[in-house]
Amino acid sequence: MYAIVEIQGQQFRAEAGKFLYVHYLGDERKEGETIEFDRVLLVDANGAVKVGAPTVEGAKIVCEVKVRRRTAVSRKANDSVLRFLAVNSPRQATLSNVSAAQCITPVSM
């Protein structure tokens, strides 16, 4: 059984016992707190599919907030963004790699 749920404008596939890594939900969310998402777009219960218009009536996903952390934006850990610092002299110009990171909130079903 799985469901497609909309969280902060993005769609995620939610399954029981799995983790979701969603965008930062704010400082008021603490570790161990339960959170409900009611924007369920699709529910598949062993082949019986219910599609909402726009959401499935009465369906909700209940999750537990895990430790919030920063992670790389890209899926590969070694990907980085090139930053070029331009100055007047070519000898003074520098080129460096900067890792892009964002805060995420892992939740478990």
CA distance 100 to 79: 9
Tell me the per-residue pLDDT of 90-108, one tens digit each, with 9 for 90 and over.
665 555 555 556 677 888 8
The answer to whether residue 16 scores a pLDDT higher than 70 is yes
pTM of the model: 0.66
Tell me the per-residue pLDDT of 33-67, one tens digit each, with 9 for 90 and over.
899 999 999 999 888 999 988 999 999 999 998 87
Please state, as a whole number, how many other Cβ atoms lie within 10 Å of the Cβ of residue 45.
Answer: 10
